[in-house]
Amino acid sequence: MTDDLAFADATALAALVRDGTVTPAELVDAAIARIETVNPALNAVIHPRFDAARDDAAGPLPDGPFRGVPFLVKDLDGSLAGAPLHMGNGALKAMGSVADHDSELIARLKRAGFVAVGKTNTPELGLLPTTEPRAYGPTRNPWHPGHSPGGSSGGSAAAVAAGLVPVAHAGDGGGSIRTPASHCGVVGLKPSRGRTTLGPDRGQAWDGLLQLHVLTRSVRDTAAVLDATAGPLRGDPYTAPPPVGPFGAEVGRDPGRLRIGIRTDTPSGLAAVDPRVVEAVEDAGRLLESLGHAVEPASPAGLDAAGLLEAFSTVLAGGVAFDIDALARMLGREVTADDVEPFTWMQYEVGRAITAGQYLEGVHVAHAWTRGVVAWWEDYDLLLTANTAEPAPRLGDIVDASFDPVHALERAVPFAAFTAPFNVTGQPAVSLPLWWTDDGIPVGVQLVADQYREDVLLRVAAQLERARPWADRRPPLPPA
């Protein structure tokens, strides 16, 4: 696989298939060769699906917009029929759990023409902002192998950044698309609540905190994939209102002069912000000003209101208790502390102690808090912040050698403080790779739009991509 082909986006690869320059089989073989060469240094792909992918590429493929383009599925939040489904958990790995159906999102990606070549690494049950599960070991950041790629979609982000595939499936319940996008220098959009479906297995997860999409190298891919996957599955409990037009049509459209608030400190002072992160956000603010936008220090006062952290923690822990019960059903037996990592078990014990009334009170607080926060967008178009309070940490920083759960919880806070509030509000938010540290670690910035306004996000994201392209930036990996 030539380096140029490895780092082409999905739109470009699909165009090569349509004009006959390459065949789907050639694209899939090239991706497999790249994975075989590069992945041993990364541990991003944990479940290869090479023979099945070759069979898929050789057979009739749907004539979708991404016909023949290889992609990867995160080993969480998405079932891929016939492939392992372990969710970063050692007990499921030992059992050899295999999915018997495609989740609807994966089915839609397949109908768009994508070919699944494997599954990517994830922390156990997606609970930590780093991908270092005990069951599969750490995924390494392509830019700096000693550093984390983020989590929980860290395997997917590392794979896209390293040129293994142009698109990889991802999910975000507290920053799990945006954090790895920031750490790995790729594009990560968390769509609006209800924009994509979690069906057929779930109507919602973590009381609506979790949304699904993909990680990509370009804004146009992010938009076009959303066109292919957005919309409810019959029976979904809620859905986002349909867009005015195709998301892909927003790429290149003039956003006009927007009023943008900028914030560099964490909500409620939850964590100190690294000066390099502050510099990245301020630099993005200057870039937006140079493009004609009005940028000023401003953010919703509600971000600092008391009660959110406790409400978020209650909903999350309750969700983990549900997930462990679901894990027990998959295993066919009761789950013990030996079946999961210490951090997972700690969250489970907290969740199991929460009463129904306490859980619903947490949901009520989150809903009331949301109304106070989103009102700010009546006067502003976008909010610009960091994604994380620190650049990518070293492996072993969040998950230490002892798997100490209290240490993990404390160290996770800086990597969720900016992102998790917008899982609560359900607003669309995107991480864009606009800045690198002096030693070459990506630091993405976050843009947040009003409810259901992915169109505004995509217009501005594409404008920033044109003004400061990142496509030629390549991590220091061996060519394949």
Active site residues: 74, 152, 176
Q: How far apart are CA 474 and CA 77, in angstroms?
A: 29
Q: How far apart are CA 434 and CA 378, in angstroms?
A: 27
Q: How far apart are CA 386 and CA 341, in angstroms?
A: 29
Question: Edge-to-edge strands of the sheet including 115-120?
Answer: 45-48, 115-120, 70-74, 167-172, 211-216, 187-190, 429-432, 445-449, 382-386, 259-262, 294-297
Q: Position 356: which residue type?
A: A
With H, G, I as helix, E, B as strand and everything else as coil, classify residue 382: strand
Residues in CB range of 202: below 8 A, 6 or more apart: none
The conformation of residue 243, written as its DSSP 8-state character, comes to P
Q: Position 274: which residue type?
A: D
The conformation of residue 231, written as its DSSP 8-state character, comes to S
- Taking alpha carbons only, the member of 353, 354, 375, 352 closest to residue 363 is 354
For 97-147, give the DSSP string.
-B-SS--HHHHHHHHTT-EEEEEE---GGG-SSS---TTT-PPPPSS-TTB
382 beta partners: 260, 449
Residue 457 CA to chain centroid, in angstroms? 16
Distance from the first to the final alpha carbon of the chain: 6
Q: How far apart are CA 65 and CA 73, in angstroms?
A: 18
- Taking alpha carbons only, the member of 414, 428, 415, 435 closest to residue 458 is 428
Q: How far apart are CA 242 and CA 42, in angstroms?
A: 38
Burial 123-142 (b: 16+ CB within 10 A, else e): bbbbbbbbbbbbbbebbbbb
With H, G, I as helix, E, B as strand and everything else as coil, classify residue 354: coil
Pure H helices in 191-274: 219-229
Q: How far apart are CA 1 and CA 16, in angstroms?
A: 14
Q: Are 74 and 18 in contact (CB under 8 A)?
A: no
Q: Identify the helix (H) or strand (E) that includes residue 196.
A: none
How does strand 211-216 pair with strand 167-172?
Answer: antiparallel
